[in-house]
C-alpha cells in the first residue's frame, strides 16, 4: 500500500489496498437521507405518470423537473451561494443512481443537471453564473446542450454551425443546425457549440431559447425514452450577445470533452439505479409466477439469471463509487494546492477520464444484460407494453450511444492511458518490461494462499499482467499504426474494463470483511469469486483475439503460454455460489446487496 493518492489509469500498475477505496457500506446518514428523498420523489412524482410522460403530455415533464427543483435535486452539484446544495461528487452520483430508476425522467434530469448546467457552472464567468445558475438550480429555467449535428456525431469538432461577429461588435450571429437535443422542446437555455469564422476548434455560447431565429423540428419518434424531449434545433441569424461567449474562443471542444467525462460517470450511476430497479421487478415476478406447480424462482435456470444480474450490478456499483471517491480526493488535493473549486472539479474529473469511459461502457452494457434477462424471466409478459420491464428494455438501449458510443469510449480509454504514459505521467513501460521478462523465466508454481479471497488477489495480478503483456506488445509491434487497429484497441479496452471491475468488486468485499467480518460478508465473497471466474474467461478470450491479430511464431507461442498462466483459476463450484446469491435475492424479494 502506498501513501500517495492513486492517479487516473494507475490501477493497471499499482496494487490497491481496500483502505484506499470508498464502498457503499460507508454512506453517512446525511447521504442516505438524500438517496431516500430521491427514491420517494421517483415513487411519488414519476412512476405514477409514466404513460402520460411517454405520451409527451404537454407541460408534464417540465412540471416534474420544477418539483425536483423545489426539493433541491436540480442543484445538488451547485454551490450554496448560487442556490444549490453543494454536495461532494460521490453524493451527486448517489442521487443520480436513485433517480436513475425514473425512466425518461432520469434522461431529462441528467441532461438538465449535467450537460445543461455544468458548462456554465464550471466555465462561466461570475456574471454568467450569477445570471443563470440560480434559475437552473431552482427549475425555473430548464437547460439543453447543443453539440451534435447531422454530420458531426462522434467527430464533434467537425460541426458546421457558424458564428460571425456582427459589424457593431455587440453580437455573434449564429447559423446552423443541431440534432438529438435532449430537453430541446421546453429548454429555456441552450449551450451551443459553433465555429467562429474559419476557426479550427469550436467555441461555446450561452443562448436563450426565446431568441429570435431559433426554430425546432417536431419531437423525434424514438425506440425508448419516449417521455424525454428530443428535437432538432435550427439557428437562423440568431443574435447572441458577445458577453454570452462561454470561456474563451476555441475552447468549446475542451469544454465538450470535459463535460462528457462527467456525463460518462454520471451515466454509470444512473444505469446502476436502473439495473437495481429492474432486478427488483424481476425477482418479484419470479416469486409470483408459477409454472409446473411452483414459483419459477425455484428453478435453477431462473436462479442463474437472477444471480448473474446481481453479480454484475454489484461489481458496477463497487467501481462507480470507487471512482467517485478517487475524484473527490483529487478535487480536494487540487483545492488544497490553491485551485478554485470549479477548476479543481474539472481537473479532478479529467484525471480519471479513462475510468469515466470504462464505467460508461461497463454500466450501459451491464444494464442491457440485466433488462434483457428481466424480459426473458417475465416471458410473454415481458414483451407486453403493459409491463415495466418492456419499457426498461427499450429505454436502456440508448445508453450505449449516449455520451459517446461504447466503441468510441473503449478506444478513448486506451488512448488516454497511453497518452499519460507518453507524457511520463504513468510508468507503463517498466511494468510491461517486467512482464515480458517474466514470460521468459521459469514459472512460479508455489502454493496459492488459502486465505479468504487471496486466490482472487492473485488472479487480479494475472489480469493486470495480461493487460500489460498485450498492450506492451501491441505498442512495440505496431507503434504508430496501433491507432488504426481498432479491433486490437477494443480487445485491450475489454481487458482493462474487466480488470477494473474485478479489482473494484474485490476491494469492496475485502473492506466489508474488514468492517463486518467474514460471517456478514459470505455472499460478497461468493459474488467476487464468481465474478473473477467469469472475468478470467473474458480476459483470456480478448487477449487471445489480440495475440492472433498481431503476433506469430515464437512470439505468439510465448504470449499464449503466459496468457494461460495469467488467467488460470482453480476449481470452483460456480453453480452453488450462484444458488446462494439468488436465494438471498429471492428471500428478500428485492435487490438487497
Query: Which residues carry out catalysis?
Result: 403
In sequence order, what DSSP letters do the residues of 189-238 get, joined into one string?
A: EEEEEEEETT-SS-EEEEEETTSTTEEEPPPP--SS-TTS-EEEEEEEEE
Cα(573)–Cα(553) distance, integer angstroms: 36
CA distances from 524 to 252, 509, 529, 569, 593 (A): 44, 6, 9, 19, 8
Cα(282)–Cα(370) distance, integer angstroms: 9
Cβ contact 105:57 at 8 Å: no
Cβ contact 439:472 at 8 Å: no
Cβ contact 496:542 at 8 Å: no
Binning the chain into helix, strand and coil, the percentages to the nearest 5 are 65, 10, 25
Q: Which three cell numbers stand for residue 313?
A: 450490478
Phi, psi angle pair for 518, to nearest 5°? -65, -35
CA 5 to chain centre: 22
Q: Which three cell numbers stand for residue 25?
A: 457500506
Look at strands 189-196 and 203-208 and give their pairing: antiparallel
368: Cβ contacts below 8 Å, ≥ 6 apart: 396, 397, 399, 400
If you search the block for the grid coordinates 447543443, which residue do you land on? 146
Cα(41)–Cα(36) distance, integer angstroms: 8
Cα(374)–Cα(282) distance, integer angstroms: 6
Cα(183)–Cα(168) distance, integer angstroms: 33
Nearest to 125 by CA among 257, 18, 226, 242: 242
Instruction: Name the 3-class secondary structure at 2.
Output: coil
Cα(537)–Cα(532) distance, integer angstroms: 9
Phi, psi angle pair for 189, to nearest 5°? -135, 135
Q: Which three cell numbers stand for residue 42?
A: 421517483
Q: Which three cell numbers stand for residue 444?
A: 512460479
CA distances from 331 to 205, 320, 342, 346 (A): 26, 17, 9, 8
Amino acid at each position: 500500500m502506498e501513501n500517495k493518492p492513486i492517479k487516473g489509469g494507475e490501477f493497471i500498475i499499482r496494487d490497491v489496498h481496500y483502505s484506499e477505496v470508498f464502498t457503499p457500506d460507508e454512506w453517512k446518514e446525511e447521504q442516505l437521507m438524500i438517496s431516500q428523498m430521491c427514491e420517494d420523489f421517483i415513487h411519488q412524482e414519476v412512476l405514477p405518470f409514466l404513460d402520460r410522460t411517454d405520451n409527451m403530455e404537454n407541460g408534464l415533464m417540465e412540471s416534474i423537473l420544477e418539483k425536483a427543483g423545489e426539493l433541491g435535486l436540480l442543484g445538488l452539484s451547485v454551490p450554496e451561494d448560487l442556490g444549490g446544495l453543494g454536495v461532494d461528487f460521490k453524493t451527486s452520483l448517489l442521487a443520480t443512481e436513485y433517480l436513475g430508476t425514473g425512466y425518461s425522467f432520469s434522461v431529462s434530469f441528467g441532461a438538465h443537471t449535467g450537460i445543461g448546467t455544468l458548462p456554465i457552472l464550471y466555465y462561466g464567468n461570475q456574471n454568467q453564473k450569477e445570471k443563470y445558475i440560480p434559475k437552473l438550480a431552482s427549475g425555473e429555467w430548464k437547460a439543453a446542450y447543443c453539440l451534435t449535428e447531422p454530420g458531426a456525431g462522434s467527430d464533434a469538432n467537425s460541426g458546421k454551425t457558424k458564428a460571425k461577429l456582427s459589424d457593431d461588435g455587440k453580437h455573434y450571429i449564429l447559423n446552423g443546425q443541431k440534432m438529438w437535443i435532449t430537453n430541446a422542446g421546453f429548454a429555456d437555455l441552450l449551450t451551443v457549440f459553433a465555429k467562429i469564422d474559419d476557426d479550427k476548434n469550436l467555441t461555446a455560447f450561452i443562448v436563450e431559447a426565446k431568441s429570435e431565429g431559433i426554430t425546432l423540428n417536431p419531437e423525434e419518434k424514438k425506440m425508448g425514452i419516449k417521455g424525454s424531449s428530443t428535437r432538432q434545433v435550427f439557428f437562423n441569424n440568431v443574435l447572441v450577445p458577445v458577453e454570452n461567449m462561454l470561456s474563451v474562443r476555441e475552447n468549446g471542444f475542451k469544454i465538450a470533452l470535459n463535460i462528457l467525462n462527467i456525463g460518462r460517470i454520471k451515466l454509470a450511476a444512473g444505469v446502476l439505479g436502473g439495473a437495481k430497479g429492474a432486478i427488483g421487478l424481476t425477482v418479484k415476478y419470479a416469486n409470483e409466477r408459477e409454472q409446473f406447480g411452483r414459483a419459477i424462482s425455484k428453478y435453477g435456470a431462473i436462479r442463474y439469471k437472477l444471480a448473474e444480474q446481481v453479480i454484475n450490478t454489484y461489481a458496477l456499483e463497487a467501481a462507480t463509487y470507487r471512482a467517485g471517491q478517487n475524484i473527490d480526493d483529487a478535487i480536494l488535493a487540487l483545492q488544497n494546492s490553491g485551485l478554485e473549486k470549479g477548476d479543481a472539479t474539472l481537473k479532478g474529473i479529467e484525471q480519471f477520464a479513462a475510468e469515466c469511459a470504462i464505467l460508461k461502457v461497463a454500466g450501459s452494457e451491464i444494464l442491457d444484460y440485466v433488462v434483457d434477462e428481466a424480459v426473458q424471466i417475465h416471458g410473454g409478459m415481458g414483451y407486453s407494453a403493459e409491463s415495466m420491464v418492456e419499457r426498461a428494455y427499450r429505454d436502456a438501449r440508448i445508453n450505449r450511444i449516449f455520451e459517446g458510443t461504447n466503441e468510441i469510449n473503449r478506444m478513448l480509454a486506451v488512448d488516454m492511458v497511453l497518452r499519460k504514459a507518453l507524457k511520463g505521467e504513468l510508468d507503463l513501460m517498466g511494468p510491461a518490461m517486467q512482464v515480458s521478462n517474466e514470460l521468459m523465466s521459469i514459472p512460479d508454481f508455489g502454493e496459492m494462499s488459502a486465505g479468504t479471497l487471496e486466490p482472487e488477489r492473485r488472479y487480479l495480478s494475472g489480469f493486470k499482467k495480461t493487460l500489460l503483456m498485450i498492450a506492451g506488445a501491441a505498442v512495440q509491434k505496431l507503434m504508430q499504426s496501433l491507432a488504426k487497429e481498432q479491433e486490437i484497441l477494443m480487445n485491450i479496452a475489454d481487458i482493462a474494463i474487466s480488470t477494473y471491475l474485478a479489482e473494484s468488486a474485490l476491494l469492496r468485499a475485502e473492506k466489508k470483511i474488514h468492517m463486518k467480518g467474514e460471517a456478514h460478508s459470505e455472499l460478497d465473497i461468493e459474488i467476487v469469486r464468481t465474478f473473477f471466474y467469469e472475468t478470467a474467461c473474458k480476459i483470456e478470450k480478448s487477449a487471445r483475439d489480440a495475440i492472433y491479430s498481431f503476433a506469430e511464431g515464437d512470439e505468439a507461442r510465448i504470449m499464449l503460454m503466459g496468457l494461460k498462466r495469467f488467467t488460470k483459476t482453480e476449481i470452483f463450484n460456480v453453480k452453488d455460489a450462484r444458488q446462494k446469491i439468488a436465494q438471498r435475492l429471492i428471500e428478500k424479494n428485492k435487490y438487497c446487496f
